[in-house]
Structure 1
Amino acid sequence: MSWSEFYLVVSGLITLVILLIVFPWLRKANHAKSDSLNNIQVVKQRLIELEREAREGLISEHDKRQASDELKLALVDETHFEHERKGKATLPVIIGAIVALGAGVVVYMQVNHLSEVDRADEAIRALPALSEKLSSGDMQDFTGDDVANLALAIRTRLRQTPDDDKGWMYLGRLQMSLGQDAQALQAIQRALSINPQNRQNRITYAQALMVSGDEAQLREAQRQLQLLLRANPENDNLALMMAVASAQLGDAKKTRQYFDQVRDKLPADSEMAMRLSSRLEELEQRASTVPTGSTQEQAVQTGFSLTITPADAIIEKIPDQGYLIVFAQDALSENRMPAAVIKIPLQSFPVTVTLSGDNAMMPGYSLTQLQRARLTARISVDEDVTPAPGELQGQITEEVINGEMISRELIIDKELM
């Protein structure tokens, strides 16, 4: 709503309030005037009747004059009373109208937060200049008001255009600079969901994941970086980020692989290089002390660890007996042959299952042959993988990364028709 429209609406509301207050008073005043005129007519009529009665000898001349004087005095008293009552009522009505209008304006301003609206408008006007400073990385000149105004302006703009991935990314970067990691991650995830093909969005997402130090988020950062490096393996910035994420996770093999790619390109006195060298030495020394044949020396399988949960809407449709069938198919081809499948009797949810090369249906065709997998969980009354009406199903699509087990949640949320 523009300010001209706002003022027009407010003017209309004020006019309506004035009419509601004044109309009953005007109506009452009109009634009083009408009653006064009626009384005058009645008095005149009575005076005529007194004249006639005196002529006909029904009353004496003295009685006629006395009755006439009484009627005139009564009319004067009534007229004086009406004027006095009108004079006393006008002032309270005016005061009441002023108070009502003042209260209405105050309440309207409080309810509609007009000061916040003004501030939002000012922030939006300042958005181009603030965005330029943010894009250039020139944050040292930012004041507290600049940061607050920029955040407000971006949020206001995003309410108007919620599918603007650049706006969500700006908001995420700003929140990262303020140390609001959780909020920043949510904003960046929103930007990535709107435009998943934007490479810079994915890089920023990986950076936000690495800030927390949480193992699950570090593994997701490692996965995102693996996808980026698959498309651009010579990118030294991505390789350095992968080395850092792997070092935090304690993955000596990948730390060595990607640190070796960038080691000679870092300055000799680089603090990052010294930290990575120290961490890598620690990890390799720890690995050398692990006995041969231990769990840590075994190769990590490729696949998915899926936590399967039914949506609230389909819980009542789950049969008492049946099977949970979980399988993976190639999402990039028309081949419907499952690369891995698990069938287990129904049990209490949530259920966690692992799909890996051990669950391949055919030799030579497993998850390691896929780049992107369509993961399906289906509740069936029999063990047949073929879909049938009435069965319950959920699906997600994920990238396959060789040598990694990726944890995901899969929700069964629809009934097959």
Structure 2
Amino acid sequence: MTLFWIASVILIAISILLIALPFIKKKANKDAQLRDELNKALYKDRLSELEEETDEGLVENQQDLIDDLKQSLLDDIPKDGQKQKETTTSALAVIVPSAILVIALSYGLYFKFGASEDVLAWQEVNENLPALSKKLMAPEGVELSEDEMQDLTLALRTRLHYQPDDSTGWLLLGRIALANRDVDTSIGAMKKAYKLESDNPDVMLGYAQALMLADDEMDQDKARSLLGKLVQQDYVDLRVFSLLAFDAYERKDYPAAVRYWSIMQQMIGPSDSRYEMLARSIENAQKQMGQQVGTGQSVSVTVNVSEQVQADPNSALIVSVHTADGSPMPIAAARYPLGTFPRTVVLDDGNSMLAERKLSSLESLMVRVRIDSDGNVATKDGDWFGESEAVKMGQPVEVMINSQY
């Protein structure tokens, strides 16, 4: 605010200077000089006429007329001091009222129409940006009031105007727009954040979340692609599976929705308050599939590799579930891109090999995992593999790939 007052004083001073400049640099008035020259010329002409009239005998007292002519010439010369005083007085009479008028109008109009209170409020909001941002980024359960959301939006837009390369700022603006159900603004802000930081998981997740709410099918496909990349990372945010489950349910892909919700249950555990909510979601999806509630189960498999494993990035990861006695014929199997390790995959009845024997029918099981290097399931030479111990259905399974055929 101090800068504003300094700038305003400078501008007003310049305005007053522009008003006074014509008086300061006023050209010298040559009227007196011209008048003197004219009087001299007239005086000389009159002397010539008097001489001619004297010669002709028309004038009897020539000297008296000459004295009168000289006296009239002297009377016509103005006093310099009086003239200078009048000029200075007339200049100040214009400059001083003009300066007062400029100052009064400038500050008067500003206080009337300048919205100074709004400017002060805007500056206070800008100073409060770090605190509001920290509150928005806090764990779930911390919510901002409507006024705080408006303040944060104003502060963010101000900051992004001067710092357009701030990906965190665009991410926050996108999240605020999501909270306000402003999908277009959210997509625009998240897109800018993604262009600046396309490998940031938080940005990818935010962008996917915004795109998932769009009406355009291409935007939704882009969201699924982003979520697919996030699933392949070493650490997968719970919200990724939540979005995948939501999308699957909306597309009436109920088995996939059940699978993702089951993964979420295994990630948070029964002690989490959200566990029961996920169970109700699973139950609802199973009802939509026409299944009997409680029969569908899944197997969560965490896969890791030992240090000596050297695998082609183009290889495939084959995960198969077998009966607890290690029967070679799998009950369920799935094929995934190799990705990174450790990683977690989930198999359910949708991965069953035979329609008459579902994965959920097993009471106990074991899991085998293989890195298929040539794309042919029948050949195993050179492939790396690992297998788990027998576990009961519902228990998490861990497999270390450490052997080679």
Normalised by the shorter chain, which TM-score bucket?
0.5 to 0.7
Is 1:281 aligned to 2:287, yes or no?
yes
Deviation by residue 1:39-95 (Cα, 9 ceiling, x = unmatched): 56887999999999999x886344245434433444459998997787566534544
> Does the 8 Å contact 1:215/1:249 carry over to 2?
no
Partner secondary structure for residue 67 of structure 1: helix
Is 1:60 aligned to 2:50, yes or no?
no
Structure 2 Cα separation of the partners of residues 225 and 233 of structure 1: 13
> Does the 8 Å contact 1:247/1:276 carry over to 2?
no
Deviation by residue 1:248-273 (Cα, 9 ceiling, x = unmatched): 11123322322333456465884454
Is 1:18 aligned to 2:16, yes or no?
yes
Letter in 2 for 1:228: L
Structure 1 Cα separation of the partners of residues 158 and 236 of structure 2: 40
Is 1:142 aligned to 2:136, yes or no?
no
Match of 1:129 in 2: 131
Letter in 2 for 1:229: V
Is 1:240 aligned to 2:237, yes or no?
no
Closer/same/farther in 2, CA of residues 35 and 25 from structure 1, 3 Å limit: same
Partner secondary structure for residue 231 of structure 1: coil
Is 1:253 aligned to 2:279, yes or no?
no
Structure 2 Cα separation of the partners of residues 212 and 152 of structure 1: 24
Pick the aligned partner of 1:176 from 158, 175, 178: 178
> Does the 8 Å contact 2:230/2:236 carry over to 1?
no
Match of 1:31 in 2: 28
Partner secondary structure for residue 158 of structure 1: helix
Letter in 2 for 1:259: W
> Does the 8 Å contact 1:244/1:276 carry over to 2?
no
- Structure having the larger proportion of residues in helix: 1
Unaligned regions of 5+ residues in structure 1, if any? 287-331, 334-367, 372-417
Match of 2:355 in 1: none
Structure 2 Cα separation of the partners of residues 69 and 180 of structure 1: 94
Structure 2 Cα separation of the partners of residues 95 and 276 of structure 1: 82
Deviation by residue 1:335-378 (Cα, 9 ceiling, x = unmatched): xxxxxxxxxxxxxxxxxxxxxxxxxxxxxxxxx9999xxxxxxx
Deviation by residue 1:90-140 (Cα, 9 ceiling, x = unmatched): 534544455466667789999999877655543332212222222225754
Partner secondary structure for residue 181 of structure 2: coil
> Does the 8 Å contact 2:244/2:260 carry over to 1?
yes
Q: How far did residue 150 of structure 1 move?
A: 1.9
Match of 1:164 in 2: 166
Closer/same/farther in 2, CA of residues 65 and 210 from structure 1, 3 Å limit: same
> Does the 8 Å contact 1:218/1:249 carry over to 2?
no
Structure 1 Cα separation of the partners of residues 178 and 112 of structure 2: 33
1:14-413 correspondence runs (5 A): 14-28=12-26, 31-32=28-29, 35-36=31-32, 39=35, 60-75=62-77, 90-96=92-98, 98-99=100-101, 120-136=122-138, 140=143, 142=145, 144=147, 146-212=148-214, 215-232=217-234, 236-263=238-265, 265=269, 267=273, 270-282=276-288, 284-285=289-290
Q: How far did residue 236 of structure 1 move?
A: 4.8
Structure 2 Cα separation of the partners of residues 123 and 136 of structure 1: 19
Structure 2 Cα separation of the partners of residues 20 and 273 of structure 1: 79
Structure 1 Cα separation of the partners of residues 179 and 43 of structure 2: 95
Partner secondary structure for residue 232 of structure 2: helix
Closer/same/farther in 2, CA of residues 250 and 232 from structure 1, 3 Å limit: farther
> Does the 8 Å contact 1:158/1:167 carry over to 2?
yes
Closer/same/farther in 2, CA of residues 72 and 90 from structure 1, 3 Å limit: farther
Closer/same/farther in 2, CA of residues 199 and 103 from structure 1, 3 Å limit: same
Structure 2 Cα separation of the partners of residues 234 and 37 of structure 1: 96
> Does the 8 Å contact 1:43/1:75 carry over to 2?
no
> Does the 8 Å contact 1:172/1:185 carry over to 2?
yes
Closer/same/farther in 2, CA of residues 261 and 128 from structure 1, 3 Å limit: closer
Equivalent pairs, count: 286
Q: How far did residue 186 of structure 1 move?
A: 1.5
Closer/same/farther in 2, CA of residues 280 and 163 from structure 1, 3 Å limit: farther
Q: How far did residue 187 of structure 1 move?
A: 1.0
Structure 1 Cα separation of the partners of residues 183 and 89 of structure 2: 69
Q: How far did residue 152 of structure 1 move?
A: 2.4
Match of 2:358 in 1: none
Partner secondary structure for residue 256 of structure 2: helix
Structure 2 Cα separation of the partners of residues 163 and 47 of structure 1: 84
Letter in 2 for 1:197: D
> Does the 8 Å contact 1:14/1:101 carry over to 2?
yes
Q: Tell me the C-alpha RMSD between the 2 structures.
A: 5.1
Q: How far did residue 246 of structure 1 move?
A: 0.5
Letter in 1 for 2:202: Q
Letter in 1 for 2:280: M
Larger radius of gyration: 2
> Does the 8 Å contact 2:136/2:143 carry over to 1?
no
> Does the 8 Å contact 1:210/1:221 carry over to 2?
yes
Q: How far did residue 281 of structure 1 move?
A: 2.4
TM-score norm. by structure 2 comes to: 0.53
Unaligned regions of 5+ residues in structure 2, if any? 292-312, 315-335, 340-405
Q: How far did residue 24 of structure 1 move?
A: 2.3
